[in-house]
Amino acid sequence: MGAGPRCPYAYPGRQPGTAVWVSGVLIPCARINRPGTKVDLRQLRYFVAIVEHGSLVAAAQHVHVAQPALSHHVSNLEAELGQKLFERTARGVLPTKIGSEFYHRAKLILRTADQAVETVKRGGEMAGIVSLGVTPTSGLVLGLPILMRATEQFPSLKVNVVERLSGHLYEMTRTGLLDLSIMFDSRPAENMDVEMLGADEMVLVGNADMFERFGIGPTVDKAMLATLPLFLSSATHFTRRKVDNEFARLGIRPTVSSEIDSVTLTMDAVEKGLGFTIRCRGTARGPHGKFRTARISDGLWIHRFYLHAGPVSIRSVACNCLVEIIKSVAAELIADGTLTAS
């Protein structure tokens, strides 16, 4: 394979080689070579396996090492670091607080080292795996453009996409189960950067027959909105809470025909003329059929998309590349009117 595009974050200040930059430190792939430490990548892989399996027996089987040898490696690692990394319990082993912190750093180092080796093997073409979380709505609006851009610019960069609700994505990103996530939640968290990507207007969505039957034009006011049969998600969804807050602020009560926690099923029901829904305008542009939309004249019906990521200093090279792709895609969607800047 010929040399592909190089990520601007891949090797700051030097040509690709067998060393990687992590938190501003150049780390040889063979060993973490800081004065006073003798921790190699094999020890980190063993440590990560134990955390993820919660058992020395299961971890030993996973890394193909005898359990006594694995226990010995753990003892040596704890002695080298001068910290207790695990609590031994009747149900297995659990990382201590410092062990959990070390786990996230170890995962980053291993991922970055693997990506560095793979990138060198591919002649400098960016490679690696990044996990991206999206909500059903952010996936519809931003997901496909991001995947297309990533595939175009970095063919060997693998983006694993997970769809969850905002609350779940927040916890998964905060605890390191996801590298990045795009959600409605703007809450800051320790060791996590939050940046607004853009906003989308929430509109009334229905099919043409339903719009004509109820005499709905380009806009709908709160009096009309209160009479319409609506398909909304349950209260666990951020979108539903947003809708309920706006209704409460306007002093009206919605007519909820059914609660459906599926964007696809909701839009299919709306397309068949069973009722209306309130969604981001980008959802109505999605692959669910042809819809009519009406702006809601009363209230503040805006949804903002936020990118959540670990700080730049602890992100992998591939993760930084995907962050830049996400930002550029969002900027283009703002430029073409799909999203707004605020």
| 217 found inside a domain | yes
Of 91-100, 102-111, 185-194, 311-320, where does the model show the most confidence? 91-100
Both 55 and 105 in one domain: the answer is: yes
What percentage of residues in the chain have a pLDDT greater than 90? 48
Mean pLDDT (whole number) for 87-92: 84
Please, are residues 201 and 280 in contact by the beta-carbon 8 Å criterion?
yes
Which helix (H) or strand (E) segment is 6 a member of?
A: none
pLDDT, residue 30, reads 39
In this predicted structure, the answer to whether residue 71 has a pLDDT above a threshold of 60 is yes
| 247 found inside a domain | yes
State how far the Cα of 230 lies from the Cα of 255, in Å rounded to an integer. Answer: 6
Instruction: Tell me the pTM.
Output: 0.69
Both 181 and 326 in one domain: the answer is: yes
Residue 99's region, left for phi above 0, alpha for psi from -120 to 50, else beta, is: alpha
Mean pLDDT (whole number) for 80-95: 88
Mean pLDDT (whole number) for 5-25: 42
Both 233 and 259 in one domain: the answer is: yes
Both 244 and 168 in one domain: the answer is: no
State how far the Cα of 222 lies from the Cα of 152, in Å rounded to an integer. Answer: 45
Q: What is the domain range of residue 183?
A: 123-198+304-336
Please, are residues 188 and 194 in contact by the beta-carbon 8 Å criterion?
yes
Both 187 and 309 in one domain: the answer is: yes
Please, are residues 219 and 292 in contact by the beta-carbon 8 Å criterion?
no
| CATH number of the domain bearing residue 58 | 1.10.10.10
Both 286 and 224 in one domain: the answer is: yes
Q: What 3-state DSSP class applies to 156?
A: strand
State how far the Cα of 28 lies from the Cα of 210, in Å rounded to an integer. Answer: 64
In this predicted structure, the answer to whether residue 105 has a pLDDT above a threshold of 70 is yes
Mean pLDDT (whole number) for 277-297: 81
| 56 found inside a domain | yes
In this predicted structure, the answer to whether residue 286 has a pLDDT above a threshold of 70 is no
Residue 124 pLDDT class (50, 70, 90 cuts):
low
Please give the full DSSP string across 253-280, using - where no structure is assigned.
Answer: --EEEEE---HHHHHHHHHTTS-BEEEE
State how far the Cα of 90 lies from the Cα of 73, in Å rounded to an integer. Answer: 21
In this predicted structure, the answer to whether residue 288 has a pLDDT above a threshold of 50 is no
Among 109, 142, 166, residue at a domain's last position: 109
Both 204 and 288 in one domain: the answer is: yes
pLDDT, residue 126, reads 67
| 82 found inside a domain | yes
Residue 135 pLDDT class (50, 70, 90 cuts):
very high
Both 255 and 213 in one domain: the answer is: yes
Both 158 and 283 in one domain: the answer is: no
| 29 found inside a domain | no
| 18 found inside a domain | no
Which helix (H) or strand (E) segment is 4 a member of?
A: none
What percentage of residues in the chain have a pLDDT greater than 70? 85
The per-residue pLDDT for range 32-65, each reduced to its tens digit, is 444 555 788 999 999 999 998 999 999 999 999 9
Both 66 and 208 in one domain: the answer is: no
Both 191 and 206 in one domain: the answer is: no
In this predicted structure, the answer to whether residue 341 has a pLDDT above a threshold of 90 is yes
Residue 171 pLDDT class (50, 70, 90 cuts):
confident
pLDDT, residue 2, reads 47
pLDDT, residue 313, reads 66
Total tally of structural domains belonging to the chain: 3
Among 64, 80, 109, residue at a domain's last position: 109
State how far the Cα of 308 lies from the Cα of 86, in Å rounded to an integer. Answer: 29
| 341 found inside a domain | no
pLDDT, residue 9, reads 43
Q: Bigger pLDDT: 300 or 98?
A: 98
pLDDT, residue 282, reads 83
Both 179 and 272 in one domain: the answer is: no
Q: What 3-state DSSP class applies to 190?
A: coil
In this predicted structure, the answer to whether residue 236 has a pLDDT above a threshold of 90 is no
The per-residue pLDDT for range 321-336, each reduced to its tens digit, is 999 999 999 999 999 9
| 291 found inside a domain | yes
Please, are residues 126 and 157 in contact by the beta-carbon 8 Å criterion?
yes
| Nearest to 302, CA basis, from 334, 341, 257 | 341
State how far the Cα of 263 lies from the Cα of 271, in Å rounded to an integer. Answer: 12
| CATH number of the domain bearing residue 260 | 3.40.190.10
In this predicted structure, the answer to whether residue 187 has a pLDDT above a threshold of 90 is no
Mean pLDDT (whole number) for 243-269: 92
pLDDT, residue 36, reads 53
